[in-house]
DNA sequence: GATGAATGAGCCTTCATTCAT
DNA sequence: GATGAATGAAGGCTCATTCAT
């Protein structure tokens, strides 16, 4: 994936032939996506008119539809992008770490870093509209639940790896992963909606991760 | 509060003089609230027309507005009710338990019982519309954030009590409460949106609660 | 017309048998009419909900309809009443004056007195809703145009009388009456909508009346 | 003001870029305004649904709102236009006449010509809704009362000019203007609502104007 | 007689989407 | 490709009127 960091491939976005005009198509698409992200995350999908996104992006509202066909599709692309970025960060960090419990720490750190750096992207995922829409439309097998599962599978695999490493018979990796994911998701929720301190939450998540890895907390 | 379990007092709901007729006013209000709860929780607030709620409740759509003035107000009343019920369950269970760590267990059990019994009520609270609306309108000081804080304060107080009991110098009760709340909220989220097993989640939450009480997990 | 000054006879108003209860039916009807007059004159008919009139009158809105059948009918009764009162004042004053030009003066004075005393009643007549409604419903032959004509006929007859008195061959009494009526109506309009000084307008109307009577202005 | 007779400048009307298409934007706006004028003048503002105006104009009802934002704003634009046209006619005629009493005659003639040619425009101004709405919204300083005053000021200035010309010490020009305006307004009222003959009314107004100019009627 | 909860038709307005330019 | 005027279905809300009490 040399050019165009953001993988939107497979999603229904209308694009012209490579290398083009004025504002630059790539840049135009980006500014629409960014405008939409910020508006959807803040006010919610249904409360944001296409015209508002268009205005914020500096294009005509026809242009938004021209590229994304549908307002819902715009949300789908956006949600997919958010989850993909999140997955990339976490998976990248985890696999860069040394095998073992360090991966868990790296995963959790990456999650909180992402949350701090791009709160809107997580906020968007907590909004329930993405869930309510059948994202199956966007790209088969890429609906939002599937992607969440992918994020979760990262954890499952890490726990499995840890279990296999020190043979200490960790309880069901599935349940361990779920427990940690619950903690981390809830932390993000409290942070985003109730302004709970990110650092405190990160601390408690890391602590839990450590103990889960050591088997000292039975999920 | 002998008769009329649900405390709706203070909220802007139009009611007739006490003790009246036909379908029973109380019953009519209830059926509207129930219809709205189920529809809002399932499809979301904005995607549910007033007419749909009315139809499900078996009344004319004018009737819904007659009683609640506004669709938003209906949501506000509902959100308030959900949060109040949740608070009542948890606080009731906790204070019925013997002082000490038992209260934490009772609290968590009550939360999961409520979640199992009335998933729609928690689901509604996770929908972001209630948050987006300024519920301050409904009744001053009763906005949804304030009510969440009340639920959280229950936990804080329990941790404080435990700390004082066995003098074992528990870390900041605020942070302990936040950690547990994050875990529990995230668990509900995973259950409601990803069908994670309620029992597994409950188990891990109880376990965490126990360890937090014993000071063996540092949040 | 001994008892019940206001002649509402012939209009569709539901009344009970004479001599009755609590607030007193007569008084209740009056308070509804008064509330309606003030609201209709100020905000207009269409912009005034029945419920508002009812509230201002201290009765239930069902009661308003119970007595007047229809919101439109309430307006009709009111408009009829206003015109009737105006006619009574002007005709009373004119016939009390000595035959001749003095009658004109008396008529004009009475009009302006009425306008000063009960501006809402004239205001109501200027609102166009009364005109837009087919007041024929209320009582046959009593629609608002007919009543205006009655007021105008007073003037015609006075001019005719003056013409016959001094045989000075006054121009068409119809036209004289119309000219004076135009002046007087316009004056009321300017006063009510543009706050023109009542005294200045009265002065110019009296002056015109005098000259018309003396034949020195040809309408 | 070469092209585009009607000065709508400054009013909140959404218009496309200059010089455009199909039905012609200008023509479309006109047809909406015309349809609205006729409907509002005949049935009144509140009794005319936007959909009816749209249908009469041959557009979708969304189009009406698209251009005028609000039904009220449509009325405001219309009322402003009517008053502006009236003012233009009268002021044009007056200033085209030779200085002196001839200006008064020209003014009155222009008023009655306008009334005959475009009765709906005067009718609309007599409807009370334009007055009830705060037209201040449309364009600051352009509310309907201010515009009426402008029309009145024309008369004041003419009387002042006459007074200065023949030094015959005319009474307060303000009051003279008010007297004539009352007469003329009342005449329009009687014509529009009671079908009084336009010619008779015009005659009496001209006569009055003449005598006021000559100082032979004291207002 | 009086009430007021309930009704439901009607209306203004929003807004995603289309399409001619 | 991009635009934005036009569309019209949809929806929240108002309010005159009904009717059971």
pLDDT value at A144 more than 90: no
Mean pLDDT is lowest, of B135-144, B190-199, C11-20, for B135-144
pLDDT greater at residue B201 or residue C17: B201
What is the per-residue pLDDT for A136? 46
pLDDT value at B172 more than 60: yes
pLDDT value at D218 more than 60: no
What is the distance between the alpha carbons of residues A39 and A25, in angstroms, rounded to a whole number?
21
* Number of alpha carbons in the 13 Å side-chain half-sphere of residue C17: 0
Q: From the centroid of its chain, how far is CA B211?
A: 25
Q: How many helices (H) and strands (E) does chain A have?
A: 10, 0
Confidence of residue B9 (pLDDT cuts 50, 70, 90): very low
Q: Is the CB of D23 under 7 A from strand E?
A: no
Mean pLDDT is lowest, of A153-167, B101-115, C66-80, C190-204, for A153-167
- Nearest CA to CA, how far is B37 from chain A (Å)? 16
D193 CB burial (10 A radius; 0-12, 13-18, 19+): middle
Confidence of residue A36 (pLDDT cuts 50, 70, 90): very high
Counting residues of chain B whose pLDDT is more than 90, the rounded percentage is 57
What is the distance between the alpha carbons of residues B106 and B210, in angstroms, rounded to a whole number?
11
Query: Per-residue pLDDT averaged across B19-33, rounded?
Result: 75
Mean pLDDT is lowest, of A160-169, C53-62, C179-188, for A160-169
What is the distance between the alpha carbons of residues C81 and C114, in angstroms, rounded to a whole number?
13
Q: Does domain C13-69 have CATH number 1.10.10.60?
A: yes
D128 CA – F18 C1', rounded, Å: 32
Sequence ranges of the domains in chain D: 13-69, 75-214
Mean pLDDT is lowest, of A76-80, B100-104, C56-60, D127-131, for D127-131
Sequence-distant contacts of B111-117: CB under 8 A, at least 24 apart: B111/B86, B111/B184, B111/B188, B111/B205, B112/B187, B112/B198, B112/B201, B112/B202, B112/B205, B113/B89, B114/B85, B114/B86, B114/B89, B114/B90, B115/B188, B115/B191, B115/B192, B115/B198, B116/B198
What is the per-residue pLDDT for C165? 79
- What lies within 8 Å, CB to CB, of B31 at 6+ separation is B57, B58, B59
Helix axes C101-117, C119-126, angle to 10 degrees: 90
Maximum mean pLDDT: which of A154-163, C123-132, D101-110: D101-110
B178/A196 CB distance under 8 A: yes
What is the per-residue pLDDT for C135? 46
Confidence of residue D7 (pLDDT cuts 50, 70, 90): very low
Query: Per-residue pLDDT averaged across C78-105, rounded?
Result: 92
- For chain C, the chains sharing at least 3 beta-carbon pairs closer than 8 angstroms are D
Q: Which of B188, B187, B154 is nearest to B173 (CA)?
A: B154
What is the distance between the alpha carbons of residues D158 and B131, in angstroms, rounded to a whole number?
65
Structure tokens at A77: 């692309």
pLDDT value at C105 more than 50: yes
pLDDT value at B10 more than 70: no
- Nearest CA to CA, how far is B1 from chain A (Å)? 31
pTM greater than 0.85? yes
Query: What separation in angstroms does the CA of D37 have from each of A79, B30, D29, D30, D77?
Result: 49, 49, 12, 10, 10
Confidence of residue D211 (pLDDT cuts 50, 70, 90): confident
Contacts of C132 in chain D (CB under 8 A): 43-44, 47
Q: Which of B43, B145, B196 sits opposite A178 (nearest CB)?
A: B196
Give residues 4-23 of chain B lying near strand E (Cβ < 7 A): 14, 16-17, 20, 22-23
Q: Which residues does C contribute to its contact with D (CB < 8 Å)?
A: 43-44, 46-47, 126-129, 131-132, 145, 148-149, 175, 178-179, 181-187, 189-190, 193-194, 196, 200-201, 203-205, 207-208, 211, 216-219
Tell me: the pLDDT tens digits for A87-141?
999 999 999 999 888 999 999 999 999 999 999 999 998 887 777 765 444 455 5
Check the CA dihedral C102-C104-C110-C112 and report its sign: negative
D11 CA – E11 C1', rounded, Å: 25
Structure tokens at A76: 């789908």
Q: Is the CB of A193 under 7 A from strand E?
A: no
Q: From the centroid of its chain, how far is CA D128?
A: 14
Beta strands in chain A (DSSP E): none
Residue nearest to nucleotide E21 (CA to C1'): D21
pLDDT value at B13 more than 50: yes
Q: Over chain C, what is the mean pLDDT?
A: 84
Structure tokens at C121: 């009643």
* Segments in chain C forming alpha helices (H): 25-43, 50-57, 61-68, 71-96, 101-117, 119-126, 129-132, 144-166, 173-194, 198-214
Nearest-by-CA chain D residue for C201: D179
What is the per-residue pLDDT for B136? 46
Query: Per-residue pLDDT averaged across C194-210, rounded?
Result: 93
D151 phi and psi angles, rounded to 5 deg: -60, -40
What is the per-residue pLDDT for B142? 62
Confidence of residue D19 (pLDDT cuts 50, 70, 90): very low
B175/A200 CB distance under 8 A: yes
Mean pLDDT is lowest, of C76-85, C97-106, D129-138, for D129-138
Check the CA dihedral B61-B67-B73-B75 and report its sign: negative
Query: Per-residue pLDDT averaged across A210-215, rounded?
Result: 83
pLDDT value at B7 more than 70: no
What is the per-residue pLDDT for A216? 61
Nearest-by-CA chain C residue for D172: C200
Helix axes B144-165, B71-96, angle to 10 degrees: 10
Closest nucleotide over all strands to B22 (CA to C1'): F20
- For chain D, the chains sharing at least 3 beta-carbon pairs closer than 8 angstroms are C
Contacts of B214 in chain A (CB under 8 A): none
Counting residues of chain C whose pLDDT is more than 70, the rounded percentage is 82
Q: Over chain A, what is the mean pLDDT?
A: 84
What is the distance between the alpha carbons of residues A82 and A122, in angstroms, rounded to a whole number?
7
Q: What is the end-to-end Cα distance of chain B in Å, rounded? A: 38
Q: Do the chains D and C touch each other, judged by at least 3 C-beta pairs below 8 angstroms?
A: yes
Contacts of A182 in chain B (CB under 8 A): 183, 186-187, 189-190, 196, 201, 204-205
> What is the topology classification, in CATH, of domain D75-214?
Tetracycline Repressor; domain 2 (1.10.357)
pLDDT value at B16 more than 70: no
Beta strands in D115-197 (DSSP E): none
Query: What separation in angstroms does the CA of D64 have from each of A51, A114, D48, D51, D59?
Result: 18, 47, 13, 9, 8
Mean pLDDT is lowest, of B28-37, C121-130, D5-14, for D5-14
What is the distance between the alpha carbons of residues A36 and C143, in angstroms, rounded to a whole number?
61
Give residues 15-54 of chain A lying near strand E (Cβ < 7 A): 47-51
The owner of tokens 């009830």 is D132
A85 C-beta neighbours (distance < 10 Å), count: 16
pLDDT value at D75 more than 60: yes
Tell me: the pLDDT tens digits for C41-84?
999 999 999 999 999 999 999 999 999 999 999 998 998 899 88
C13 CA – E4 C1', rounded, Å: 21
DSSP state at residue B98: P
* Number of alpha carbons in the 13 Å side-chain half-sphere of residue A115: 26
- If you count residue pairs, one on C and one on D, with CB atoms under 8 Å apart, how many are there? 123
C-alpha angle C206/C149/D122, rounded to 5°? 80
pLDDT value at C214 more than 50: yes
Tell me: the pLDDT tens digits for B99-147?
888 999 999 999 999 999 999 999 999 887 777 775 444 555 567 777 7
Q: Over chain B, what is the mean pLDDT?
A: 84
- What lies within 8 Å, CB to CB, of B29 at 6+ separation is B13, B15, B67
Counting residues of chain B whose pLDDT is more than 70, the rounded percentage is 82
Query: Per-residue pLDDT averaged across D117-133, rounded?
Result: 86
Q: Which of D127, D186, D207 sits opposite C128 (nearest CB)?
A: D127
Q: Which of D144, D186, D126 is nearest to C131 (CA)?
A: D126
Contacts of C134 in chain D (CB under 8 A): none
Mean pLDDT is lowest, of B4-8, C110-114, D181-185, for B4-8
């Amino acid at each position: 994936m040399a050019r165009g960091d953001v993988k939107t491939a497979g999603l229904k976005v209308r694009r012209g032939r490579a290398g083009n005009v004025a504002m630059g198509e790539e840049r135009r698409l980006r500014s629409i996506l960014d405008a939409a992200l910020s508006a959807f995350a803040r006010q919610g999908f249904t409360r944001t008119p296409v015209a508002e996104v268009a205005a914020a992006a500096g294009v005509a509202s026809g242009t938004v539809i021209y590229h994304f066909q549908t307002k819902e599709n715009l949300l789908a692309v956006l949600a997919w992008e958010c989850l993909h970025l999140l997955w990339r960060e976490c998976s990248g960090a985890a696999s860069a770490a040394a095998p073992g419990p360090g991966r868990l720490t790296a995963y959790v750190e990456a999650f909180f870093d992402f949350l701090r750096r791009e709160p809107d992207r997580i906020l968007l995922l907590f909004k329930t509209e993405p869930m309510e829409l059948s994202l199956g439309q966007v790209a088969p097998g890429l609906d939002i639940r599937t992607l969440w599962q992918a994020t979760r599978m990262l954890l499952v695999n890490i726990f499995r790896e840890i279990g296999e490493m020190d043979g200490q018979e960790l309880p069901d990796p599935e349940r361990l992963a779920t427990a940690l994911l619950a903690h981390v998701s809830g932390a993000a929720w409290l942070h985003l909606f109730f302004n709970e301190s990110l650092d405190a939450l990160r601390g408690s998540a890391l602590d839990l991760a450590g103990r889960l890895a050591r088997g000292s907390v039975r999920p």
